[in-house]
Each structure stands twice: as C-alpha cells, then as structure tokens.
Amino acid sequence: MDSARAFLIAPGHSLHRLLKHVLGVGLRGSLDGTCTVCVSKRGAFVYFTTQGIGMQVSMGIDGRTPSAIEPAVVQLRLLVEVVRSVSTKSLSLVASDGYLTVFTGDACFHIRTAVACQHGDLAPCSSIAHVASLAVMELRAILMAACQPISCLDCGSAHPDVHLSISRGMALCASFDGSRMSCAAVPCRDGGSNDSAAVPVDTARSVSRLLGHGGIARMYRLGGVLGIAFGQTEVACRLSDAYSSDAGFVLARRYVYAFCLGRRRLESILRRATILMEDRIRDLSILVAPGLLLVRAANTVREKMEEVIVPAGLNYGMLGSELIVNADRLRDVLTDACPYLVSFHVGTDRLSVMIAGHSAPVSHRHVLPLVRTGFDD
C-alpha cells in the first residue's frame, strides 16, 4: 500500500456510504445514467462534489494525511463500484499522472481522471453571506412537512416550489399546490437575518434525504444560489424563478379553532370512511355536536358510513357546524412529520380549514379547501 503519497486513507465502508449519497444526487441529474465527481481537498478533508438537477452536493471525509491533491474529475459510478468491491478493507487513494489509484493492500485499481474545470455554482459556504442556523433535524422536519403532501399526480407538468422564509428569528417552510398549502416553522438557533427563497420541490426533497439526525445546519445565500452546510456536507441549490412569498401569512387569527383529536385516531377513521367512497366522490363530513363529532361518508348507491368520536378538545361556539373536506387531501397531510395531536381551525371566510399541530420545536400548518360548509348564516 502506497500510503506515503496517499491523499486519503479511510475505511472502505465509510467511503462507500459517502459515495452512495453523492451518486444518488448525480444520477438524478443524469440523462444517460453516467455522472462525474470532482475530488478535491481542503485542509485535512477530501471532498467529493457532483451535480444534480438544480443542485450541487459536496461531501467530505477526513483524509488522515497531509498529502494534497489537485482537483480531478473521475467517473462516479466506476469509483463507487471499485470501493464497493473492497469496502471491507482500509483504502488509500493516490492521484498521479492522470490516474486515481485505489490501493487495498493486496490489489490496486487505476481510474483515469480529467482536469477539473470550474466545478459547481457555489464557493465554499464559509465565504458567502450567512443567513441562519438551524438544528439539522428541525430543518429536515420542516422540509418534509412542506414536501410530503405534494404528489406527482397533482403537480402535472409544472412542479410547485417550496418557499423558505427567515423572519423574526423563525424559519418557515411552505408549499403551495393549487388551493392546498402546507407550512412548518421552527426557531432559528442564532436569530437569523431576514431573507426568503424558493426552490423546486424535487430539490427540497433531495436536501431532506441528505440531512442527517444531529448537528447544526448553516444556511447561506449568494445571488440565485442557496447554500446549506451541515457536518462536512455542503449543498448548493439553484433558486427558482418563482416569486418567493412569505410563508408567515398563515396566521392563526385568520382561523377559528373548532376541535382537536389524535392523528392516529383520525387516520383510522379515514381508512374506514374511504372504503365506501367512489373515485369521483371523496367527500368526508365532520359535524360538530355537543361533546362529540359525527363523521360521515356515503356513495351514490346510498351506502353510508357513520362514526361518533369524542374529540380531545372542542369549541362549543362551533356547535352545529359541518365541515366537508376531500378525504384524500386530508390523508395526504397526515404524514409522519405531523405531530400526534392535530387541531382543526376554520377560516373566517369559511372557505378553508387549517390543520395545525405542534411537536416542539416544530409547528405545522396545512390549509385545505372546504368542499362545502354547513355553517348557519
């Protein structure tokens, strides 16, 4: 093993796990199934950088050696296959004479390299304007809350954007899908500076997959690029051309509290209610009665489902009110990102209902249109 000239010495399984994450991003941006990775070194860390659709990902690993390397480009899939085949061993990587050599102690692989051009849209995050810092899990939670309800069937040819807003020490993430809106908020760790941006939903989903479960995520902004750095990973997202509106317009004062109940209870009711529903009629009726809720569903041949449930909380000022919502849209927003207890708030214009919940420190808001209302005028 030629460790004296190696710029990277690492366990094979650790390097393979990192390269798989990078490959996942690269393949989503590839038209023919091939993609490249730029190998570079900053300080003691070796970074692998690739391009996806509208984004660039750079993931680093401790090189454990002072040897430097000139940035070089290699075929990413080939490098992943080589590392995977020997992932149980310690590896040394050496770059020389147009080749990247992988040493395993009893074997070596020579992979041709190319000279790196200007690879990427974003300089190291430390050199551009800092916006805010969030806990990694909290950033992941608000991205998932905004992305999860959006299905490809609803999007059609034009996918919606995810809007991220930093204001008054709060980070808000929202998505707008026709008349449906999902929003989640979390406090910033350092107060944050006011800013807003919009990224395609596919980019936001990719970022949420890369985020881990611990540490701090640092957010940066440079022109039309949003940078997110966490651990030894840096993600550069190309911003959407869409107008980035402030997700904070969803305020509780526009809605009147009606009732609350457990998410799991509501999910079980929805499963039973949709058994009788037809493809074109997906209406679910919730009638507020003294101390209870009457949930009803029916189809065109007069088959009915009725269930009486006791809510965890009830606004007696809403007695006699009937909320009729689309069952599929309601089930879409009841994801794992939602808290265990959800509350229903009716818009003052009686045209929409806000499903809200709070699982500290993340608060969730999902706004759905009402199909019909049974409010007394």
**Same-domain check for residues 156 and 93:** no
Asked whether the predicted pLDDT for residue 121 surpasses 70, the reply is no
More confident residue, 280 or 62: 62
The pLDDT tens digits for 180-234 are 778 888 889 887 788 888 888 888 988 998 898 889 999 988 878 888 999 889 9
pTM here? 0.78
Residue 120 falls within a domain, yes or no? no
Residue 1 falls within a domain, yes or no? no
Q: Which two tokens stand for residue 71?
A: 């940035």
Q: Are 151 and 202 spatial neighbours (Cβ–Cβ below 8 Å)?
A: no
Question: How confident is the model at residue 377, as a pLDDT?
Answer: 44
**Same-domain check for residues 131 and 98:** no
The pLDDT tens digits for 244-295 are 554 445 544 588 899 998 888 888 988 888 888 887 778 899 999 999 999 9
Amino acid at 1: M
Residue 235 falls within a domain, yes or no? yes
Q: Where is the domain boundary, 201, 216, 249?
A: 249
Q: Where is the domain boundary, 115, 138, 164?
A: 115
**Same-domain check for residues 95 and 20:** yes
**Same-domain check for residues 90 and 182:** no
Q: How many domains does the chain have?
A: 3
Question: How confident is the model at residue 153, as a pLDDT?
Answer: 45
- Confidence label for 349 from pLDDT (cuts 50, 70 and 90): confident
**Same-domain check for residues 236 and 321:** no
Domain extent, residue 214, equals 125-249
